[in-house]
Amino acid sequence: MPTKRGPPDPARLDRIVADARRARELRESTYREQALKLYPWICGRCTREFDRANVQQLTVHHKDHDHDNNPPDGSNWELLCVYCHDNEHSRELEAAARRGSADGDTTQSAKHRPFADLAKLLKEGGNR
């Protein structure tokens, strides 16, 4: 009797990965279809209008950035053209970077007392 244990079958792993990818694509195309049915084909930022010929440039943005949060009433979706969608996310990344490096009140004190903060940073750097 052959044992079931042994090295993992790479073909099986490939299938699992392919299945996961298909499931994600299916889910994405599903919420995209729903959003396109629910909302007029207009970019929520630049108000550019879309039709069948160029609707592939209209994307579904998740307002809370959670792609798994897809309420059927569409309250987490916003239709954005690819350009505005890109913009939206790079703005969010910049904001997150600022928040991440700020660590509380550093941003504020940097605004009000840039040199005091700089001195502190230099001192900390020198001590290391």
**Given the complex with Zn ion, which of 35 and 81 has the nearer CB atom?**
81
Please tell me whether residue 81 binds Zn ion under the rule CB under 5 A: yes
Give the DSSP letter string of 39-91.
Answer: S-SB-TTT--B--TTTGGGEEEEETTS-TT---TT-TTEEEEEHHHHHHHHHH
How far is the C-alpha of 71 from the C-alpha of 85, rounded, in Å? 20
Minimum Å gap between C-beta 112 and Zn ion is: 34
Minimum Å gap between C-beta 89 and Zn ion is: 6
Minimum Å gap between C-beta 60 and Zn ion is: 8
Minimum Å gap between C-beta 84 and Zn ion is: 3
Could you tell me which of 56, 49, 59 has the C-alpha nearest to residue 81?
A: 59
**Given the complex with Zn ion, which of 35 and 61 has the nearer CB atom?**
61
**Given the complex with Zn ion, which of 17 and 46 has the nearer CB atom?**
46
Q: Which of residues 3-62 bind Zn ion (CB under 5 A)?
A: 43, 45-46, 61
Q: Which residues bind Zn ion (CB under 5 A)?
A: 43, 45-46, 61, 81, 84
